[in-house]
Amino acid sequence: MKIPNPNTTKSKINPKSQIPNYEGVIKRYREYLPVTNKTPIITLKEGNTPLIYANYLSKMLGKNFAVYLKYEGLNPTGSFKDRGMTMAISKACEEGSSAVMCASTGNTSASAAAYAAKAGMKCIVLIPKGAIALGKLSQSLIHGAQVLAVDGNFDAALELVREITAKYPITLVNSLNPYRIEGQKTASFEICDTLGSAPGFQVMPVGNAGNITAYWKGYKEYKAKKKITRLPVMLGFQAEGAAPIVRGHPIKEPQTIATAIRIGNPASWLQAEAARDESGGLIDMVSDKQILAAYKLLASKEGIFVEPASAASVAGLLKLKKENYFRRVTKSPSHQVTRITCILTGHGLKDPDRAIKSIKEPRVIKPNLKAILREIGYA
């Protein structure tokens, strides 16, 4: 197979975007963040994740399109939440808090537990019973959080966390905490710094809608500071069984195999709609079948293992491609390459059960050379 040259104009990235002695998102983007000399910086060196040129997907999109994958699964706890958590925990420390709390479909709790452990704080987590992936549960447990499984969904758990943190001296670290959004916006800075400009389009999953809010805030701030000259079109994707924004009303019992985005009443609903409308984008939905197809494609064609919720971005990309969306709305002259970033929010190892369920289990075979050679087609 011919390996494409990484230095072709279509896939080229800014060489100045490599950073020696990297110290995490707060140090790198300090001037854009609400920190002072008094803020203790609690970091696990999150951020600085790769933006990977997607050969297969770019080819699928066709001439004049280049697809890049922002692999957020390579953050310290395996998801984008670490960008926001370094800010939320650092500020909680600065404010003298000794306990933090969140509701979570798994990744927020894994991240909160790790950063709270690093800061020496107590961490309390409410998760929807039986509805979070095993890898995520193992993380919050091993980091020493107090994990309570609520007999209800994420929305009910978040409501309880809001109530408790409003009454007791415990800091809320869900994305309703504005510092979470501040930290998460650094991902859009990284994309712009790597590409040398904003992408034409950005595709991402939407759950509680904090991340789309954060990215859009980041892009707008970079434009205001004249680091970029134009803004991307924001394209958000919910899972079909958990698509309150698309349907225009909360979903009482959201359902999807993408457990991370199984949310029926997103906290940042209005901000997500603002990102959509201000950017001229859309929020649409993809079925579990489309999510699983994208999940397998990413692993088998791009070499990237993500959790199902992350694959919703690529499922959305493929859905829009089928509708000829990108060609219809792209205004650039035909000789120019339009760049599309897809945000891959969490690592595939978070949810290994899903991978094994999606593919056939390995065949059991006798420890016999001949039998193996026959099996692999060499005899």
Helix (H, G, I), strand (E, B), or coil: what is residue 330?
coil
Rounded Cα–Cα distance for residues 355 and 311 (Å): 12
Residues in the chain: 379
CB nearer ligand F0G, residue 74 or residue 329: 74
- Report in angstroms how near the CB of residue 107 gets to ligand F0G at its nearest: 3
CB nearer ligand F0G, residue 66 or residue 344: 344
CB nearer ligand F0G, residue 13 or residue 260: 260
290-296: Cβ within 8 A, 24+ apart: 290/315, 290/318, 290/319, 291/239, 291/256, 291/257, 291/258, 291/315, 292/257, 292/358, 293/318, 294/318, 295/354, 295/358, 296/358, 296/359
CB nearer ligand F0G, residue 57 or residue 137: 137
Tell me the β-bridge partners of 79: 346
Q: DSSP label at 268? A: T
- Report in angstroms how near the CB of residue 253 gets to ligand F0G at its nearest: 17
- Report in angstroms how near the CB of residue 329 gets to ligand F0G at its nearest: 23
Which residues form the interface with ligand F0G (CB under 6 A)?
79, 81, 104-108, 175, 205-211, 260-261, 307, 309-310, 345-346
- Report in angstroms how near the CB of residue 318 gets to ligand F0G at its nearest: 17
Tell me which residue has tokens 């929807």. Answer: 128
CB nearer ligand F0G, residue 55 or residue 238: 238
Rounded Cα–Cα distance for residues 379 and 365 (Å): 15
Nearest alpha carbon to residue 345 among 201, 229, 208: 208
- Report in angstroms how near the CB of residue 81 gets to ligand F0G at its nearest: 6
